[in-house]
């Protein structure tokens, strides 16, 4: 792990429903934390690159989430839209230490928009 | 005594504290490298020589005797000149004088000390945890206690559904006790298994008669002089004559701590297994290395190797941590897991399911190397995967067949058609209906069958669960050669499966499938947990098939149905309270107005379904908004649901000079009967009081048009993109008949339509005649359908808003996890 990042504990893995999501409010806007069926935790900006839909409200399957507004599928690890759609949701480093979920907010990387329709 | 190579030089003294697997393995390794370097003394608390602790489970189950699991008998210690002191506990280490003193008073000096004190079961600190009848599962004494209890019969509760707990549970069950396993998490062995494998394991244990309670949090162990029951935090009480605690282990650090050695969760060691005192080494479960502690045997042996090299005077060997694998030692249950199988960035899941054999395999690959594996039912390739995992073997060359295992290969297996051709006539193709290859081939030739449906009709092969469909198709191709045109393929449900909606539904019924993981396993899903297409569909099919029994999976619902409001483009929600038959009152309107003011709701609109929509409600305000609406007697309008939306009415004979019947009253009755139901897609009803049809009843899923002599029932209409006017189903004379037909029609739609198929396309697909045959011509069938509808309604008419406004359901949905910055 990058030692230069300062990590902020925001809750525990158990606080996030499996195959679900919780939101953390930050200065960068809302960050959506996802917990997959395999208990992996990911953090993305809570904004679909397509039309800004709240990804935290989508269905989580495998390591992906489907946006609730127009069913874009976003890869949780990279924030990239799954083809043929193009765009990338903002991404935030996250790690789990002894069940505590920690965000590396300083290393937040903003997203880039998609096709812009809808 | 062994011979000394140089008797004139006094040998160094090595004292080993702990006669378990780690300590003694270190000695074995050391004796192989430097047989004469040390005078060795071993202290063991247990009164036995060194035995294989991981084989205690088979001893409990009666599959092995203690003698069979002894690793080194007393003669081994003698032969190697080791002074073994059993039944004595080292209490003090005097580091300044380099001596240890035992409980017996015996003091032994050392030049090197090896601490291998292992671990003890963690006993959860609840009231009653020290009562007689509460045991851990760690040593032979525990096994003896369990065997004594089992000999008396009665009930055992095992707390902890991990590796040890399940092995204990199985052993006690084999010995004739009634066994219940309590597990805090919702998946058994959740550290080793994913949800699919955990579900299979649970089924197998339940099949063996072991009760499993997940999400079970122990509050108290009840009993006066000995244990009599276990009470859970939810109040449930389970009678128990024996309680086995198997929730985890704690490294035994007391001795090291008292001696002032650096300790964290375990006694801290560096890569040479040396503690903070250079004269003292430590190995095994008592150790903490690079922040990790271990409870499995393989790492202990790796540590032992390094410690032995160190003691032998070497400096090369270093322990860098272990990748672990686990196997459950329950006879007939094959479970294997290794490495990191959680998946993640750039990881690829390769899933293989063979429902007929009860096999589930998942291998996680990252950058062409195996990262982890979970195997259930067929673990023979566990070692192969684990070796490649540890070696970082490039798997690209075998990537395509990796999941089939090491022995995969050869023409027969790679070519399914050749494989089927090679089967004898007596080979069973369809397990559900017991149909052999010969029977199918004979039917094809003698009856001139040319496609799958005909084979199904004549032989029943592949007509139940459908898992042999592929093989039946191969048989058609083999038998008919070029005469087989193949099957007109219906569209599969989604990319996770080749099966169609209808096939999946048929299998749910035929195979008694009762959960989403069950369906995915038995029908051989290609993904670990489906996708946004199949999960909501499966959730609906299961809910429809098993009313009152299937537990709704909120994680498989679209957001609107999960939070019972409609998401809008800006992420806010809209809220629509139910207005029965379109009726409202001053009290309701006042409450709505107050809610709008109180929560600064920006837009209020009257809907096409005769109710009021509140737009722009913030998600975290939803429970409070609902609470206020509930207080005025209003409930959810399900404006977000694949379910009953509205029953639109006109005023009818109560006020209208043309009205022929009480259309508003009938609308209210219909809405009271049908609200809360889940259906394949949304359902809208309407009742018009006369043929002028002001309620637009003939473009609804079901519309009632009142006439002087009774009621016309129209079905299969909708507005929207493709407007379709209803077809007339039947004309009836009484309100009671309207209600019965409505219930029966709703249920037929629920049972037959595919998920997300509205009544209009459903009707066009199956034909109006089919619906008339089921509802109009068959009075008995109609009554049965209606009865099934009403039965399912008895479980679905709880206001979802009230459940959430009170905070008792899904509280986490409506609050952010944290606020930072």
Residues 6+ apart with CB under 8 A from B284: B18, B20, B21, B22, B23, B116, B117, B118, B300, B303, B304
Residues of A in contact with B531 (CB under 8 A): 59, 61-62, 64, 66
Which residue of chain B has the CA closest to A7? B820
- Are B654 and B781 part of one and the same domain? yes
CB contact under 8 A, A61 and B817: no
Q: Chain B: give the shortest CA distance to residue A109, in Å.
A: 16
Per-residue CA distances from B437 to B145, B284, B411, B413 (Å): 53, 55, 20, 18
Answer yes or no: is B799 within a domain: no
Structural domains for chain A: 8-107 (2.102.10.10)
Looking at residue B551, what is its pLDDT?
A: 92
Answer yes or no: is B327 within a domain: no
Residues of A in contact with B532 (CB under 8 A): 58-59, 61, 66, 71, 73
Instruction: Give how far the C-alpha of residue B492 lies from the chain's centroid of Cα atoms, to the nearest Å.
Output: 24
Looking at residue B466, what is its pLDDT?
A: 66
Backbone angles phi, psi at A101, to 5 degrees: -90, 125
Residues 6+ apart with CB under 8 A from A68: A53, A54, A57, A58, B558, B559, B560, B567
Element (H, E) at B746: helix B735-752
Q: Is B819 on the interface with A (CB under 8 A)?
A: yes
Final residue of a domain: which of B277, B311, B345? B311
Answer yes or no: is B316 within a domain: no
State the Cα–Cα distance between residues B183 and B212, nearest whole angstrom: 8
Q: Is B347 on the interface with A (CB under 8 A)?
A: yes
Looking at residue B70, what is its pLDDT?
A: 86
Of the candidates A27, A39, A73, the beta carbon closest to that of B342 is on A39
Looking at residue B467, what is its pLDDT?
A: 63
Q: Is B561 on the interface with A (CB under 8 A)?
A: no
Between B190 and A76, residue with greater pLDDT: A76
Answer yes or no: is B711 within a domain: yes
CB contact under 8 A, A18 and B555: yes
User: Strand pairing of B347-354 and B335-339?
Assistant: unpaired
- Are B784 and B731 part of one and the same domain? yes
Residues of B in contact with A24 (CB under 8 A): 816-820
Residues of A in contact with B555 (CB under 8 A): 17-20, 59-60
Looking at residue A102, what is its pLDDT?
A: 94
Of the candidates B344, B563, B812, the beta carbon closest to that of A22 is on B812
* B346, two tokens: 């750039």
State the Cα–Cα distance between residues B123 and B257, nearest whole angstrom: 20
Q: Which residues of chain B have pLDDT under 70?
A: 1-9, 343-345, 407-416, 419, 431-433, 463-467, 488-489
Of the candidates B186, B346, B816, the beta carbon closest to that of A77 is on B346
- Are B390 and B527 part of one and the same domain? no
* B502, two tokens: 């209808």
Looking at residue A1, what is its pLDDT?
A: 45
Average pLDDT, chain A: 87
Between A42 and B190, residue with greater pLDDT: A42
Looking at residue A3, what is its pLDDT?
A: 52
Q: Which of B627, B622, B579, B578 is nearest to B601 (CA)?
A: B622
Which residue of chain B has the CA closest to A27? B821
Report the SS3 class of residue B617.
strand
CA torsion through residues B364, B370, B374, B379, sign = positive
Count up the domains in chain B and report the number. 7
- Are B577 and B465 part of one and the same domain? no
Q: Report the CATH number at residue B272.
A: 3.50.50.60
B420-435 tens-digit pLDDT? 787 778 777 776 667 8
- Are B228 and B292 part of one and the same domain? no
User: Strand pairing of B702-707 and A73-75?
Assistant: unpaired
Of the candidates A25, A63, A78, the beta carbon closest to that of B816 is on A25
- Are B30 and B110 part of one and the same domain? yes
Looking at residue B568, what is its pLDDT?
A: 94
Which residue of chain A has the CA closest to B345? A77
Residues of A in contact with B820 (CB under 8 A): 8, 10, 24-27, 103, 105
State the Cα–Cα distance between residues B395 and B373, nearest whole angstrom: 14
- Are B299 and B439 part of one and the same domain? no
Looking at residue B585, what is its pLDDT?
A: 96
- Are B351 and B419 part of one and the same domain? no
In our burial notation (b when 16+ CB lie closer than 10 A, e otherwise), range B449-480 reads bebbeebbebbbbbbbbbbbbebbbbbbbbbb
* B197, two tokens: 């494998």
Q: Which domain holds residue B666?
A: 644-793
- 3-state secondary structure string, B89-130? CEEEEECCCCEEEECCCCEEECCEEEECCCEEECCCCCCCCC
Peptide bond connecting A84 to the previous residue in cis, omega within 30 degrees of 0? yes
Looking at residue B465, what is its pLDDT?
A: 63
Q: Which of B45, B765, B197 is nearest to B528 (CA)?
A: B197
Answer yes or no: is B434 within a domain: yes
- Are B185 and B303 part of one and the same domain? no
CB contact under 8 A, B535 and A61: yes
Residues of A in contact with B186 (CB under 8 A): 18
Interface of B with A in 66-125 (CB under 8 A): none
- Are B111 and B32 part of one and the same domain? yes
Looking at residue B147, what is its pLDDT?
A: 92
- Are B763 and B654 part of one and the same domain? yes
Check: CB of residue B13 under 8 Å from CB of residue B38. Answer: yes
Element (H, E) at B219: strand B218-223
Please state the rounded mean pLDDT for residues A16-45: 93
Answer yes or no: is B210 within a domain: yes
Is the ipTM of this structure higher than 0.85?
A: yes
Looking at residue A113, what is its pLDDT?
A: 65
């Amino acid at each position: 792990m990058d030692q230069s990042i300062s990590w902020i504990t925001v809750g525990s893995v158990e606080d996030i429903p499996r195959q679900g999501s919780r939101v953390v409010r930050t200065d960068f806007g809302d960050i959506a934390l996802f917990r997959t069926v395999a208990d992996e935790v990911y953090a993305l900006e809570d904004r679909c690159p397509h039309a800004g839909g709240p990804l935290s409200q989508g269905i989580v399957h495998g390591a992906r989430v489907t946006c609730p507004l127009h069913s874009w599928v976003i890869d949780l690890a990279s924030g990239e839209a799954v083809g043929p759609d193009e765009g990338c949701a903002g991404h935030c480093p996250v790690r789990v230490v002894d069940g505590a979920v920690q965000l590396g907010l300083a290393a937040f990387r903003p997203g880039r928009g998609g096709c812009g329709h809808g | 005594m062994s011979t000394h190579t140089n008797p004139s030089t006094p040998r160094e003294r090595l004292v080993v504290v702990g006669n378990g697997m780690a300590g003694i393995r270190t000695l074995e390794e050391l004796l192989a490298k430097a047989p004469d370097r040390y005078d060795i003394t071993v202290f063991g608390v247990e009164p036995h020589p060194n035995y294989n602790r991981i084989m205690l489970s088979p001893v409990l189950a009666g599959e092995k005797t203690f003698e069979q699991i002894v690793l080194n008998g007393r003669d081994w210690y003698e032969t190697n000149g080791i002074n073994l002191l059993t039944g004595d506990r080292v209490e003090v280490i005097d580091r300044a004088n380099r001596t240890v003193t035992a409980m017996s008073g015996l003091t032994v000096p050392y030049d090197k000390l090896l601490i291998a004190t292992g671990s003890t079961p963690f006993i959860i600190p609840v009231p009653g945890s020290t009562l007689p009848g509460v045991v851990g599962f760690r040593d032979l004494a525990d096994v003896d206690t369990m065997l004594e209890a089992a000999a008396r019969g009665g009930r055992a509760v095992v707390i902890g559904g991990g590796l040890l707990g399940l092995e204990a549970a199985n052993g006690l069950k084999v010995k004739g006790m009634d066994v219940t396993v309590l597990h805090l998490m919702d998946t058994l062995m959740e550290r080793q298994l994913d949800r699919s494998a955990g579900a299979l394991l649970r089924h197998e244990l339940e099949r063996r008669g072991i009760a499993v309670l997940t999400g079970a949090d122990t509050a108290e162990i009840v009993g006066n002089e000995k244990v009599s029951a276990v009470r859970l935090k939810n109040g449930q009480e389970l009678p128990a004559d024996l309680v086995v605690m198997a929730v985890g282990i704690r490294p035994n650090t007391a001795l090291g701590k008292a001696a002032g050695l650096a300790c964290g969760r375990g006694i801290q060691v560096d890569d040479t297994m040396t503690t903070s005192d250079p004269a003292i080494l430590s190995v095994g479960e008592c150790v903490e290395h690079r922040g990790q502690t271990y409870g499995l045997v393989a790492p202990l042996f790796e540590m032992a190797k390094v410690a032995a090299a160190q003691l032998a005077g070497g400096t090369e060997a270093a322990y860098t941590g272990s990748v672990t694998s686990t196997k459950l030692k329950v006879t007939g249950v094959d479970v294997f897991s290794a490495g990191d199988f959680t998946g993640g960035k750039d990881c690829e899941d390769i899933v293989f399911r063979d429902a007929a054999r009860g096999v589930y395999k998942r291998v996680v690959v990252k950058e062409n190397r195996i990262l982890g594996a979970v195997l259930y039912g067929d673990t023979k390739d566990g070692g192969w995967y684990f070796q490649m995992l540890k070696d970082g073997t490039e798997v690209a060359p075998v990537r395509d067949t990796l999941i089939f295992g090491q022995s995969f290969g050869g023409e027969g297996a790679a070519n399914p058609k050749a494989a089927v051709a090679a089967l004898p006539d007596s080979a069973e193709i369809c397990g559900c209906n017991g149909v052999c290859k010969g029977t199918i081939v004979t039917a094809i030739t003698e009856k001139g069958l040319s496609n799958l449906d005909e084979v199904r009709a004549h032989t029943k092969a592949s007509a139940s669960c459908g898992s042999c469909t592929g093989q039946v198709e191969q048989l058609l191709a083999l038998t008919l050669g070029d005469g087989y045109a193949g099957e007109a393929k219906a569209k599969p449900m989604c990319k996770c499966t080749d099966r169609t909606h209808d096939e999946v539904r048929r299998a749910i019924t035929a195979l008694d499938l009762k959960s989403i993981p069950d369906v995915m396993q038995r029908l051989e899903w290609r993904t670990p947990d489906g996708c946004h297409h199949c999960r909501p569909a499966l959730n609906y099919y299961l809910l429809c098939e098993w009313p009152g029994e299937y537990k709704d999976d909120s994680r498989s619902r679209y957001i609107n149905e999960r939070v019972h409001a409609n998401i809008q483009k800006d992420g806010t929600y809209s809220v629509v309270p139910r207005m029965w038959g379109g009726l409202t009152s001053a009290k309701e309107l006042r409450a709505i107005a107050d809610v709008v003011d109180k929560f600064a709701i920006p837009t209020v609109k009257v809907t096409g379904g005769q109710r009021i929509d509140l737009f722009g409600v913030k998600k975290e305000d939803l429970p409070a908004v609902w609470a206020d609406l509930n207080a005025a007697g209003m409930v959810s309008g399900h404006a977000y649901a694949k379910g009953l939306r509205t029953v639109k009415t006109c005023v009818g004979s109560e006020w209208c000079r043309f009205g022929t019947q009480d259309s508003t009253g009938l609308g209210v009755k219909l809405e009271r009967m049908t609200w809360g139901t889940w259906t394949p897609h949304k359902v809208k009803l309407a009742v018009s009081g006369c043929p002028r049809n002001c309620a637009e009843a003939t473009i609804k899923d079901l519309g009632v048009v009142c006439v002087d002599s009774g009621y016309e029932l129209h079905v299969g209409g909708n507005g929207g993109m493709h407007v379709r006017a209803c077809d007339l189903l039947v004309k009836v004379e009484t309100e009671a008949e309207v209600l019965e037909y409505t219930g029966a029609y709703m249920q037929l739609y629920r049972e037959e339509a595919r998920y997300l198929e509205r009544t209009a396309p459903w009707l066009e697909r199956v034909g109006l005649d089919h619906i008339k045959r089921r509802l109009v011509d068959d009075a008995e069938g109609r009554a049965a359908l209606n009865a099934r509808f009403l039965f399912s309604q008895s479980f679905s008419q709880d206001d979802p808003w009230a459940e959430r406004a009170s905070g008792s359901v899904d509280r986490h949905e409506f609050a952010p996890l944290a606020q930072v910055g």
